[in-house]
Amino acid sequence: MARHADAVSVSGVTVWRPAQPLFFANADAVLNTIATHVRAERDSDCVVVSLEESFDLDSTALDALLEFDATVKASGKRAQYARVHDRARDLIMAAAPELAGRCSVSVDDAVSAVLSQASSTGDAP
């Protein structure tokens, strides 16, 4: 937000973008860090995780992502994934089709998806 004057904060939604690709050596640590912040954020009901750096996911990273998604869901919040590359999306689809349905092309599309879902269910974003 500080670097982009045209960026707009959306109430109830936080966006995270890991600065490195998720893989076996870092996926648990990166996603656990995000999960800790998500659980602590009282004024946010939705999290968007941008996976733009992750062109592929190894089995450990995929497992960590599935665990992260379950953790977010268990905390009563929604997760949406942005900038998911085709190879990563294919792997997610094979492992968890429901999660693949929450993968968006862009961060803007991901935020729009959580806002749309919130308005259709009557929940705050």
Taking residues 114-125, what's their average pLDDT? 70
The phi and psi torsions of 82 (rounded to 5 degrees) equal -120, 155
Asked whether 65 and 31 are in contact (CB, 8 A), the reply is: yes
In a domain, 74, yes or no: yes
Taking residues 93-115, what's their average pLDDT? 95
In a domain, 2, yes or no: no
Is residue 50's pLDDT more than 90?
A: yes
Asked whether 100 and 66 are in contact (CB, 8 A), the reply is: no
In a domain, 108, yes or no: yes
Residue with structure tokens 């085709």?
Answer: 86
* Number of domains composing the chain: 1
In a domain, 125, yes or no: no
Taking residues 73-80, what's their average pLDDT? 94
How far, in Å, CA of 94 to CA of 97, rounded? Answer: 6
Q: Name every residue whose Cβ is closer than 8 Å to that of residue 62 and which is 6 or more positions away in sequence.
A: 91, 92, 95
We report the CATH number of the domain holding residue 60 as: 3.30.750.24
pLDDT digits (tens, 9 = 90+) for 55-73: 999 999 999 999 999 999 9
* Host domain of residue 99: 13-116
Taking residues 11-40, what's their average pLDDT? 95
> Tokens representing 6?
């045209």
In a domain, 58, yes or no: yes
Is residue 123's pLDDT more than 70?
A: no
Indicate the range of 1-15, 24-38, 73-87 predicted with least confidence.
Answer: 1-15
How far, in Å, CA of 50 to CA of 55, rounded? Answer: 12
Running DSSP on this structure, what letter comes out for residue 51?
A: -
The phi and psi torsions of 104 (rounded to 5 degrees) equal -120, 160
Running DSSP on this structure, what letter comes out for residue 42?
A: T
